[in-house]
């Protein structure tokens, strides 16, 4: 697989929509501390269905949404899209490019999409099994992750080898198959319970069925009797109607001037009386049958309406149960994931506890080593103090020798100066005359040099000028010779005023050389003492540092012991949380089984209701056909009566 691009919006510090393209080779993200480099890695882990906020360096999952600044308001959604190339078909999807998207709202609602198709976190995790990619796979190596893996136990590193060897998907499929098998067994148990319940209720339903058939027969007999009564009433009404019509016609015949037509109609009426009576009887029978069909049809329709209402209620209830089952299943998955996370955290805490124990041992050993080093340094300081004492005694002897030789130098110098008749005032005057003559020579030579340079820089010299310049040059050299003679005289005068016995003092066998040897020995002695004292000061400073480190080690050791106690408490708390989660998981599984049993019962009830509705619809259709046929027959009878 190859990462093609990453788009981040509203995740942690990415307030603006940011698109990162990954090219072939190595892609590096560079920047100072705090610029958001680690947030890019967190975004990749988050879109791969990481649901533990601690692994994302956040207190809660809501903290991954951009919380706003003084200049920008907070966002209500975080979204990350990771695009992966799948030309080699490593992922079990036919598309050559897969866009994996995750979206989180502040309400806590999570959405996952694979190529814009909404899915669940489990589907995302299953998609990347055996590929090395995932929220806890070896494809994402965080800071310190390699040290953690190398320092882990072999059985703890097993999951990495299983992921690399392609075993994790098979293990997950085996676990899923076992869960499916367990659910199938639960369903079979529910079916057995349903069959047992059906057997128990069969006899009762059979008795109720017999009573229902008997009720229907009695109800039909009652309807027939009521129909006979209505027919008798209709017959009496028809007879009264005929009599009244006859009386009316007799009155009309008396009143009508056309007696012949009335007699003819009366005669025709008498001839067809029997036929009319028969038709009226048939019509009454058909009307009663139509009324019966209409009444029964309305009853069936009302019953069908009630059944459909009940069927709709059952469907809604089934939908609610399915939603509850889905929610319970999601919670079970979350609890399983939480248990896995807690187990991983428990392993991490146990590892941290081992590290703390190792640190405690290491600091205890460091304290012992530092104390031993302090004792060793104190021994060296004591030895050095003895050396300083010896060197002080040696220096005292050298200083006595220096004082004696200095006294000899003063006495001998006074004697030599007295014998040579040395005068410091005459020496000073000769030295000043020598310096004055030297300054005059320097000034004269500099002035004449500048004149010669200026003359040489002028073009086209005349013979007169050249002759004059030559004469000046000769005069200048003569003057310089005189100054040199004066300088020589001054040097001789200065030499006469300088004592000649100084060379004897400064000779290798002289008294000054001996004094310098003693001075050098004293300086060497002082240097050795300073060196030893510096070494003692360094050792004392080192001891102070070691004492300070020992105090720091002791303070850190105290904190480590506190951390040890806290870590033991956290491990105990984590174990309690795992136990609580397992109990909650068991209760959720029990609730899931109960909901599945209720769903099975409601589906069976729904199937029964569908059969009843289908039967009633068929009966209504049959009654509709019978009613239409009866209406046609009544219409034919009306036509026959008119004829």
**Residue tagged 């028809």 (tokens):** 238
> pLDDT band at residue 338, thresholds of 50, 70 and 90?
confident
Render pLDDT for 444-482 as a digit per residue (tens, 0 to 9).
788 777 777 777 777 766 777 777 777 877 887 887 788
Taking phi over 0 as left and psi of -120 to 50 as alpha, with beta for the rest, 5 belongs to: beta
Render pLDDT for 407-433 as a digit per residue (tens, 0 to 9).
766 666 566 555 555 556 666 777 788
pLDDT value at residue 77: 94
Render pLDDT for 85-113 as a digit per residue (tens, 0 to 9).
888 878 878 888 999 999 999 988 999 99
Q: What tokens does 636 get?
A: 């034919």
Give mean pLDDT, residues 364-373: 88
Alpha carbon distance 371, 365 (integer Å): 10
> pLDDT band at residue 75, thresholds of 50, 70 and 90?
very high
Alpha carbon distance 546, 554 (integer Å): 12
pTM: predicted TM-score of the whole model, two decimal places: 0.33
The 3-state secondary structure of 29-96, one letter per residue = CCCCCCCCHHHHHHHHHHHCCCCCHHHHCCCCHHHHECCCCCCCCCCCEEEEEEEEECCCCCCCCCCC
* Greater pLDDT, 266 or 619: 619
Give mean pLDDT, residues 390-401: 83
> pLDDT band at residue 507, thresholds of 50, 70 and 90?
low
**What is the overall mean pLDDT for the chain?**
79
Q: Return the minimum-mean-pLDDT range out of 20-24, 104-108, 214-218, 480-484.
A: 480-484
Inter-CA distances, 159 with 129, 140, 283, Å = 12, 14, 90
Q: Are 624 and 290 in contact (CB under 8 A)?
A: no
pLDDT value at residue 522: 83
φ and ψ of 52, to 5 deg = -100, 115
pLDDT value at residue 213: 86
Helix (H, G, I), strand (E, B) or coil at 84: strand
Render pLDDT for 438-448 as a digit per residue (tens, 0 to 9).
888 888 788 77
- Residue 1 is given by DSSP the state -
| C-beta atoms surrounding 39 within 10 Å | 19
> pLDDT band at residue 124, thresholds of 50, 70 and 90?
confident
């Amino acid at each position: 697989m190859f990462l093609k691009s990453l788009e981040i919006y509203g995740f942690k510090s990415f307030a603006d929509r940011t698109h990162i393209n990954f090219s072939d080779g190595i892609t590096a993200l560079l920047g100072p501390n705090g610029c958001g480099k680690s947030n890019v890695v967190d975004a990749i882990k988050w879109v791969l269905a990481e649901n533990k906020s601690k692994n994302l360096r956040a207190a809660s999952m809501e903290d991954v949404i951009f919380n706003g600044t003084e200049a920008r308001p907070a966002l209500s959604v975080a979204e990350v899209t990771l695009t992966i190339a799948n030309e080699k078909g490593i992922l079990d999807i036919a598309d050559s490019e897969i866009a994996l998207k995750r979206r989180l709202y502040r309400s806590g609602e999570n959405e996952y999409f694979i190529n814009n198709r909404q899915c669940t976190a489990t589907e995302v995790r299953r998609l990347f099994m055996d590929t090395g990619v995932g929220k806890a796979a070896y494809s994402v190596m965080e800071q310190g992750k390699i040290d953690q893996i190398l320092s882990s136990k072999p059985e703890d590193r097993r999951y990495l080898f299983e992921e690399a060897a392609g075993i994790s998907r098979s293990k997950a499929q085996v676990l899923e198959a076992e869960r499916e098998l367990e659910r199938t067994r639960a369903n079979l148990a529910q079916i057995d319970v349903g069959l047992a319940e059906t057997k128990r209720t069969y006899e009762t339903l059979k008795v109720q069925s017999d009573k229902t058939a008997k009720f229907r027969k009695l109800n039909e007999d009652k309807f027939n009797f009521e129909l006979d009564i209505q027919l008798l009433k209709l017959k009496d009404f028809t007879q009264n109607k005929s009599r009244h019509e006859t009386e009316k016609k007799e009155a009309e015949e008396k009143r009508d001037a056309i007696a012949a037509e009335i007699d003819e109609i009366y005669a025709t009426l008498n001839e067809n009386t029997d036929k009319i009576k028969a038709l009226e009887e048939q019509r009454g029978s058909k009307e009663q049958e139509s009324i019966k069909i209409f009444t029964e049809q309305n009853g069936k329709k009302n019953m069908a309406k009630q059944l459909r209402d009940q069927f709709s209620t059952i469907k809604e209830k089934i939908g609610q149960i399915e939603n509850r089952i889905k929610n319970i299943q999601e919670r079970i998955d979350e609890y399983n994931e939480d248990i896995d996370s807690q187990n991983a955290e428990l392993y991490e805490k146990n590892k941290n506890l081992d590290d703390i124990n190792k640190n405690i041992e290491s600091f205890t050993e460091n304290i012992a080593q530092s104390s031993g080093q302090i004792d060793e340094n104190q021994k060296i300081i004591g030895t050095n103090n003895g050396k300083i004492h010896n060197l002080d005694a040696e220096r005292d002897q050298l200083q006595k020798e220096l004082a004696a030789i200095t006294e000899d130098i003063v006495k001998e110098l006074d004697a030599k100066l007295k014998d040579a008749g040395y005068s410091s005032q005459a020496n000073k005057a000769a030295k000043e005359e020598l310096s004055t003559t030297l300054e005059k020579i320097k000034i004269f030579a500099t002035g004449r040099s500048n004149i010669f340079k200026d003359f040489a820089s002028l073009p086209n010299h005349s013979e007169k000028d050249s002759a004059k310049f030559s004469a000046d040059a000769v005069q200048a050299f003569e003057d310089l010779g005189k100054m040199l003679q004066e300088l020589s005289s001054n040097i001789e005068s200065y030499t006469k005023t300088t004592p000649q016995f100084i060379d004897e003092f400064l000779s290798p066998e002289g008294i000054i050389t001996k004094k310098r040897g003693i001075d050098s020995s004293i300086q060497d002695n002082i240097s050795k003492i300073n060196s030893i004292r510096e070494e003692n000061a360094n050792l004392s400073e080192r001891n102070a540092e070691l004492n300070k480190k020992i105090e720091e080690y002791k303070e850190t050791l105290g904190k480590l012991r506190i951390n040890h106690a806290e870590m033991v408490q956290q491990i105990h708390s984590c174990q309690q949380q795992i136990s609580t989660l397992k109990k909650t998981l068991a209760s959720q599984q029990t609730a899931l089984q109960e909901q599945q049993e209720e769903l099975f019962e409601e589906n069976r009830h729904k199937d029964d209701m569908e059969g009843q509705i289908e039967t009633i619809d068929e009966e209504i259709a049959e009654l509709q056909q019978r009613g239409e046929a009866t209406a046609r027959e009544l219409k034919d009878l009306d036509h026959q009566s008119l004829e």
